[in-house]
Structure 1
């Protein structure tokens, strides 16, 4: 393993954390667990490569447009995004909630497309952002169709985010079997308190789960009863996308 490359990627991820941008060298060093001098050298390399610039006003460091260009090229390869947009718009109009299209990456989901709710209070997320797959609806919809033993590889990463988070493997397996049986998944405020969601998996022509379509919003509006009512619509739109991707199951 190339430790220098790994350090560079760690620093780059910390720099591009939009919730705390720009970051100073000391903040970055603390976040990634490197010495100040090591962090400084890594930043100089990233600046030379054009991925990071120094903000003269704050003295911190931030990512450049080159990062967006790389991400945009990768997202352009995910044809499911283009195929899914009409169904996502229809679902957003029907439910009035935020609509997500997610893909699975290890024990995380990555949001590759979204349509924001027009409601003044809505679930916060961003394209390119991540969430714990076992604690969000789109993630559970994808985990439910993974090979046997998949979750066991990540057992030590099942951490509690809210009192509702499921962290016990037997209970989580039961939850995922229920997802397969019903055809949709539910998030009952398991990642963020008061935020719930409904999702269904999207399959390709090889019957493989390639993404998940879901809606999310505050539980005071997206109640368990409301989620159950919306579930068939989420399933129908997910199936619509799957058919467009060649699914025949």
Structure 2
């Protein structure tokens, strides 16, 4: 693997995750690289238009070119359009925030969302990430990925984000088998203790889970409305989105 390319991408990811600009020393410390090395990488990224410099010897920040690349990639995800009516239906029925997610390694990325009209609601952003094993949409996608759940049976600790997080991969594998049997996943405060979620897969014509559709909201409100009742709404919405995708030609990603 090209080491310079890897370092450049790590630098770009670091800048993209920041709210403000950063100086060379700060970036070098974060990446554990030499200042001269970071300076050369920054200059290359500036020339390519991915980074802008504030002042002649000032700080650096990621440019909008990254957003433009992401926007183009999102436009190619045709199932976002197919899922839109189902997402609106699910929002109207549940009154909770609706998410559409895809799997990226061991994380999920939120590629679309509709916010709950409630004053207290689950916080998320389009483009945001979460550990797949901790959230409902992630567990759905792990359960239906090509590698079987049994491949996770080697016991190793998982990072405990809350007391409810799965303790190890063996426990997670059992949970994923249950998800496959029932057709939906539940997050009982495993990523954020006060937030619960429910999700079901959006399937391509060949049955592959290409995305996950789900809701999330304050734990107390989800429990009060009833997990099983909400799960039926989520499963129905995911089935509607899958059927709509099939009618649109089912672009399999």
TM-score using structure 2 length? 0.89
**Runs of 5+ consecutive residues of structure 2 not aligned to the other structure:** none
CA distance in 2, matches of 1:26, 1:154: 41
The answer as to whether partners of 2:50 and 2:62 remain within 8 angstroms in 1 is yes
Question: How many residues in Structure 1 have an aligned counterpart in Structure 2?
Answer: 247
Q: 1:215 to 1:42 in 2, by over 3 A?
A: same
Q: Secondary structure at the match of 2:161?
A: coil
Aligned partner of residue 216 in structure 1, secondary structure = strand
Check the 8 A contact 1:144/1:180 in 2, yes or no.
Answer: yes
Give the drift of 1:62.
1.8
* CA distance in 2 between partners of 1:234 and 1:155 (Å): 31
CA contact (8 A) 1:186 1:196 kept: yes
**Which residue in the other structure is 1:220 paired with?**
220
Distance 2:126 2:181 in 1: 29
Alignment partners' CA distance in 2, 1:208 and 1:63? 35
Q: Which runs of 5+ in 1 are unaligned?
A: none
Q: Equivalent residues in 2 for 1:190-229 (5 A)?
A: 190-223=190-223, 226-229=226-229
Q: Relative to structure 1, is the Cα distance of residues 168 and 98 closer, same or farther in structure 2, using a 3 angstrom cutoff?
A: same
CA contact (8 A) 1:107 1:154 kept: no
- Change over 3 Å in CA distance of 1:155–1:21 after alignment to 2: farther
In structure 1, distance between residues paired with 2:154 and 2:116: 33
Q: 1:44 maps to what in 2? A: 43
Conserved? CA contact 1:88–1:99, under 8 Å? yes
User: 5 Å matches for 1:117-128?
Assistant: 117-128=116-127
Which residue number in structure 2 is paired with residue 80 of structure 1?
A: 79
Instruction: Quote the residue 1:144 is aligned against.
Output: 143
Distance 1:87-1:208 versus aligned 2 partners, 3 A rule: same
Deviation at 1:200, TM superposition (A): 0.3
Aligned to 1:169: 169
Residues 155 and 119 (structure 1 numbering): CA distance in 2 closer, same or farther, change over 3 Å?
farther
CA distance in 2, matches of 1:236, 1:65: 38
Where in structure 2 are the equivalents of 1:177-192 lying within 5 Å? 177-192=177-192
C-alpha spacing 1:123/1:53, structure 2 compared with 1 (3 Å): same
Over aligned residue pairs, what C-alpha RMSD do you find?
A: 2.5
SS at match of 1:114: strand
* Shift of residue 155, structure 1, vs aligned partner: 7.3
SS at match of 2:111: strand
CA 1:102–1:151: 2 relative to 1, 3 Å: farther
The CA deviation at 1:8 is: 0.6
Distance 1:127 1:157, change over 3 A: farther
For 1:14, the equivalent position in structure 2 comes to 14
| Cα distance, 1:3–1:224 mapped onto 2, change above 3 Å | farther
TM-score normalized with structure 1 length: 0.91
CA shift in 2, pair 1:77/1:163, >3 Å: same
